[in-house]
Amino acid sequence: MEADPGVVDLRGVWAAAGAWGSAALMVRIPTAQAALGAVAGCLLLALMAWNLRSGRGLVAWWQRGWAPVALAAAGAAVVAASVAIQGAGGQGSAGAEPRWAAMVEARETARVRIVLTGEPETRPAPGGYGPVPHGNGPAAGESRGVEWVAEGQLQAVAVSGAWVSVRSRVTVSWPESLDTDAGGAGQGAGVDAGDATAEEAAVGRGDTLEALGRLSPVAAGRREAAWVGLRSPPTVVPAAEGAVDRAREDFAQAARRLPGDGPALLPGMVMGDRRGQDADLEAAMTRAGLAHLTAVSGANCALVLGTVLGAGRACRLGRTATLLLCLAALAGFVAVVHPEPSVVRAAAMGAVSAVAVYAGRGRQAFAALCACVVGLLAWDPWYAGEAAFRLSVAATAGIALLGRPLAVVLHRVLPGWLADGTAITVSAQAFCLPVLLTFTTDVAAYAVPANLAVAPLVPVATIAGTAALGLAFLPGAGALTTALVWVAGLPAALVGGVGRWFASLPHAHLSWAEGPAGTAAAVLVAAALLAAVWMARAPGGIPERRTAALLAAFAAAVTAGILVPATALVGRDPPDWEVALCDVGQGDALALRTGHGHAIVIDTGPDPEPVRTCLDVLGVEVVDVLMLTHLHADHIGGTEGVFTGREVQQVLYSTAAAAPGGTPDARTEDRPGVEGAELSGRLPATVQARRAFAGERGSAGPVQWEVLWPLAGAPAPTENDASLVVRYRIGADGTAAGRPLTLLAPGDIEEAAMDELLRTGADLRADILKVSHHGARNGGTAVIGAADPRAALVGVGAGNRYGHPAPETLAALEAAGAAVFRTDTGGAVVLRREGNALVTARLEGAGG
């Protein structure tokens, strides 16, 4: 790092701001308006250039301080012109074929041909699958378990029995259990996608799918023109395996023989392939602040460029030859790891920096960043709305503006290697924090020491791994490739060990203040640190020793605020609560307090981290009973988060599948069999899970519970209808004042099954109702009348595409006089009694 950062050229920030604003606007308005804006911008640029050359008009404006306006207009004009040329305004790609656009708006079902442009990933899925009669999709919110999701390029759509060519970006989804016919229509044996694991789908990038698909529009500003949910087994034409794909697969195969976390982490550190990481490892890397290491970023590109630059200098190549060699190596690296948007973004920044160094402007990294922002937004205006792009720009800006002067200050008291590493990590952390707080309040408390600890390991793993990936293209280099994989893999395994260790420390993940106030505080922290460091960077820059001491103390306090939020220092008592609704997105997770540090937990949501955070904030250390109402991913996907840092004494679950041995009423204490395979992989090996049926009762502390559904010996037709329906009585042991507080938790049971339960005469009256199936229409409203609740809890994701909760459900709850608490609008909430009244409060620090 340079000894003195010198003067930073900030003029480019105005052009970047104009480009960013233009991109954010243009992708949300019609193409015709984008074209009009582009024409106006080009005219402005032409007028500006003419006036500047002639020495009239705008020259005076420039001298009077109008330079920011002119630069912002220039950046906006560049992006507006690019948007117009690409036809990217709004959903222009859908409008390329009017009939196609109309089909999307009407949510029709049609035969489509799609080429996958991204690797499939799994996620919880709503809606049913199977042939759709008369083009009508399933009822809103009908659950379908787990699905694969991938980006794709629509090639054609069948209109009136004929294929119509349509070129449009789409997102395509299909269920994990959907069969695919490989090799074209009527060719080859079927491939059962149900055999695919979370690491590998039956189809991949480059494959062509042809099937019936349900079309749905997407929100304005998305790069996709439509969402396509497959409704029939697709015919798959596999992509021809190229040299790049073979090399990547050979590299991944070689990495699988590594010890520890090496097989999972090395492919991610080298080529951004995270498919081998399980939920536990991902959570640990996130808690330690090391998750960025397994995504191809500017750091990878910098290491590639640095290695090639060093080789060029060792070979005494000229500046021009070295620059060309660096750019060629960068282009090759992008091609090998796949030119995904994040990779292209990182490579573009590296290329701009390399050219800046070649031109003798290596000190002006911030100016290079601004130029890169304008260019990338012109190339792909949808970057303006992507969190990854904002984080990338923020981290690079932090290193450029704060990293260099902070290193100058730290060099006075720390060894050079430690000063540089600390400066880079702290500056990136400080500038990224305001961006991170827009979608999470969790802060990795040990991110700086964790990143410093792995700093010597990352270059070895990345450089040796990239070299091994490159050698995989050469025939006969197998032995050398394997050797380099081991050279890279051992440090990668150590990175995993370091990450797990930091993640296990107390307060590894802390909660920052929520909302605009928290974001504003983070911005002020970064600004204060920046100002303090720039004032202190030059010797003699601060005249009085007292002022210097105060400034040093202020900088130390600000840095501590970044590393360890105040909540960790003063502690935070768990709120006074009896029932808690956790905000886990589109899923369910509830907790019932059974004693100090004890609780019953009902479902876990789709991801481990939200439910883990919620239980941490509630102070839950022991889970007396974990009740998993059914085995859909939006109810069991976060199971690992419940076990993280807690003791779980008992696990009960339900499912529609036959029990081991074919007896649906088996009650033996064992791990789930065939029907629980999805659950079995989420439980520690020492934990026993037991299937529960109607009639079972139990208690934990002041909470008594009774299972009302499903009936033993009567298998449910669907997984939703197999949901555990449980009535809880809180304070039934007489320790609480007043009558017991009752809660009914019906999982995702649907209307027909609920009607059957009602016919049994079961007592469903409850003070609190957990609304079935996230408030979906098919949950019915009869249970609302039977329960007659004072409060209703709805676990639902903000902006979900399923229409949850349904207007009919909300209307029925309003008619019943129930107070409705929704996680999409109110976040996590807790409830408790005060006499005969229910008191509610938002659960701060638990998301939402």
Per-residue model confidence as pLDDT tens digits over 26-70: 766 554 444 555 555 555 555 555 554 444 444 444 444 556 666
Q: What is the pLDDT of residues 356-403, one digit of tens each?
A: 666 655 556 777 788 888 888 888 787 877 777 888 888 888 888 887
Nearest to 122 by CA among 181, 222, 193, 179: 193
Look at residue 106 in the predicted model and tell me its pLDDT.
Answer: 81
- Summarize the confidence of residues 426-432 as an average pLDDT: 82
Residue pair 78/34 in contact (Cβ under 8 Å)? The answer is: no
241 against 128, higher pLDDT: 241
Q: What is the pLDDT of residue 192?
A: 35
pLDDT at 479 > cutoff 90: no
The amino acid present at 566, given as its one-letter code, is: A
The count of C-alpha atoms lying within 13 angstroms of the C-alpha of 586, restricted to the half-sphere facing its C-beta, is 18
Instruction: State residue 603's pLDDT score.
Output: 94
pLDDT at 601: 96
User: Per mean pLDDT, which range of 96-105, 534-543, 665-674, 802-811 is the poorest?
Assistant: 665-674
Cα–Cα distance for residue pair 281/287, rounded to 1 Å: 10
Rounded Cα distance, 257 and 138, in Å: 45
Whole-number average pLDDT of the chain: 75
The arithmetic mean of pLDDT across residues 168-182, rounded, is 70
Number of C-alpha atoms within 13 angstroms, CB side, residue 689?
28
Q: Does residue 74 register a pLDDT over 60?
A: yes
Which of 7-11, 439-443, 836-840 is the most confident on average? 836-840
pLDDT at 781: 87
Q: In Å, what is the CA distance from 585 to each residue of 614, 640, 683?
A: 12, 16, 22
**What pLDDT sits at residue 769?**
93
**Which region among 292-301, 494-503, 609-618, 742-751 has the lowest average model confidence (pLDDT)?**
292-301
Q: Which amino acid is at 280?
A: D
What pLDDT is attached to residue 596?
A: 86
Place of tokens 């006969």: 476
Mean pLDDT of 765-791: 89
Instruction: Report DSSP state, residue 261.
Output: T
For residue 802, the SS3 value is coil
Question: How many Cα atoms occupy the beta-carbon half-sphere of 801 within 13 Å?
Answer: 14
Task: Give dist(CA 394, CA 565) in Å, integer.
Answer: 20
Give the model's confidence band at 143: pLDDT under 50 very low, under 70 low, under 90 confident, else very high. Answer: very low
- In this model, does residue 429 exceed pLDDT 50? yes
Q: How confident is the model at residue 574 (pLDDT cuts 50, 70, 90)?
A: low
* Residue with the two structure tokens 């990547």: 248
Look at residue 226 in the predicted model and tell me its pLDDT. 84
Which range of 240-254, 414-428, 761-775 scores highest in mean pLDDT? It is 761-775
794 pLDDT more than 90: yes
- pLDDT score recorded for residue 357: 62
Stronger pLDDT, 193 or 779, i.e. the higher one: 779
| Sequence-separated (6 or more) residues with CB below 8 Å from residue 720 | 142, 143, 630, 632, 747, 748, 749, 750, 753, 773
CA distance 824 to 821: 9
User: Does residue 124 have a cis bond before it (omega within 30 degrees)?
Assistant: no
Out of 87-96, 307-316, 439-448, 552-561, least confident range? 87-96
Cβ contact 728:663 at 8 Å: no
Q: How far is CA 322 from CA 349, 459, 713, 784, in A?
A: 18, 21, 75, 72
Task: Quote the pLDDT of residue 538.
Answer: 56
Q: What are phi and psi of 790, to 5 degrees?
A: -85, -25
Look at the block and give the residue holding tokens 């502390």: 701
User: Predicted confidence band at 201 (pLDDT cuts at 50, 70, 90)?
Assistant: low
Q: Is the pLDDT of residue 142 over 50?
A: no
* 474-490: burial string, b at 16+ Cβ within 10 Å, e else: eeeeeeebbebbbbbbb
Structure-derived torsion over alpha carbons of residues 14, 17, 21, 26, reported in degrees to the nearest 10: 80
Give the contacts of 834 (CB within 8 A, at least 6 positions apart). Answer: none
Copy the structure tokens of residue 356. 């800046």
Per-residue CA distances from 340 to 155, 272, 273, 295 (Å): 20, 10, 12, 11
Q: Are 271 and 469 in contact (CB under 8 A)?
A: yes
Query: What does CATH list as the number for 579-655+680-842?
Result: 3.60.15.10
Most confidently modeled range among 406-415, 574-583, 592-601: 592-601
pLDDT band at 592 (very low <50, low <70, confident <90, very high): very high
Residues 372-381: tens digit of each pLDDT: 888 888 887 8
d(CA 48, CA 76): 14
The secondary element (H helix, E strand) that includes residue 558 is helix 545-563
Of 561 and 603, the structure prediction assigns the larger pLDDT to 603
pLDDT band at 676 (very low <50, low <70, confident <90, very high): very low
What's the mean pLDDT in 187-191?
33
Could you give the CA distance from residue 632 to residue 773 in angstroms, rounded to a whole number? 11
Q: How many Cα atoms sit within 13 Å of 341 on the Cβ side?
A: 19
Q: How do beta strands 590-595 and 579-581 pair?
A: antiparallel
Of 235, 237, 238, 226, residue with least CA distance to 109:
226
Given a cut of 90, whether residue 628 has pLDDT beyond it is yes
Q: Are residues 438 and 519 in contact, defined by beta-carbon separation less than 8 angstroms?
A: yes
Measure the CA–CA gap between 187 and 200, rounded to whole angstroms: 22
d(Cα 124, Cα 630) in Å, to the nearest integer? 13
Is the pLDDT reported for residue 25 higher than 70?
yes
Model confidence, pTM: 0.61
CA 32 to CA 26: how far, in whole Å? 10
Q: Residue 462 and residue 340: Cα distance in Å, rounded?
A: 19
Q: What is the pLDDT of residue 244?
A: 75
pLDDT 10s digits, 497-533: 999 898 888 777 676 766 676 777 777 777 777 777 7
Q: Which amino acid is it at 223? A: R
Higher-confidence position of 594 and 140: 594
* pLDDT confidence bin for 625, thresholds 50/70/90: very high
Sign of the Cα pseudo-torsion (645, 650, 654, 660, in order) = positive
Residues 724, 631: contact at Cβ < 8 Å? no
Residue 736 has pLDDT above 70, yes or no: no
Write the DSSP assignment of 263-318 as a string of letters: HHHHHHHHH---TT--HHHHHHHHHHT-GGGGS--HHHHHHHHHHHHHHHHHTT--
Q: Is the pLDDT of residue 140 over 60?
A: no
Give the pLDDT score at 556. 60
What is the rounded CA–CA span in Å between residue 29 and residue 16? 20
Which residues neighbour 848 within 8 Å (Cβ) at sequence distance 6 or greater? 514, 583, 823, 826, 827, 828, 842
Q: Strand, coil or helix: what is 90? A: coil
Q: Is residue 602 within 8 Å of residue 592, measured between CB atoms?
A: yes
List where CATH 3.60.15.10 sits in the chain: 579-655+680-842
pLDDT of residue 330: 81
Kindly give, in sequence order, each residue whose CB lies less than 8 Å from that of residue 340, ignoring residues fewer than 6 positions away: 118, 272, 296
pLDDT tens-digit readout, 241-266: 667 777 888 888 888 889 988 998 88
| pLDDT at residue 707, as a whole number | 94
Mean pLDDT, range 699-712, rounded to an integer: 90
Measure the CA–CA gap between 687 and 691, rounded to whole angstroms.
13
Q: Given a cut of 70, is residue 848 above it in pLDDT? A: no
* Spatial distance between the Cα atoms of 397 and 491, rounded to a whole number of angstroms: 29
What is the per-residue pLDDT for 340?
67
**Percent of the chain surpassing pLDDT 90:** 11
Alpha-carbon Rg for the chain, nearest whole angstrom, is: 29
In this prediction, residue 599 carries a pLDDT of 94
Q: Which amino acid is at 435?
A: V
The whole-angstrom separation of Cα 357 and Cα 326 is 12
pLDDT, tens digit, for every residue of 534-573?
A: 776 655 554 455 555 556 656 665 555 555 454 444 444 5
Mean pLDDT of 478-486: 87
Q: According to the model, what pLDDT value does residue 545 have?
A: 56
Q: How confident is the model at residue 657 (pLDDT cuts 50, 70, 90)?
A: confident
**Tell me, what's the pLDDT at 202?**
67
d(CA 796, CA 822): 7
pLDDT reported for residue 10: 73
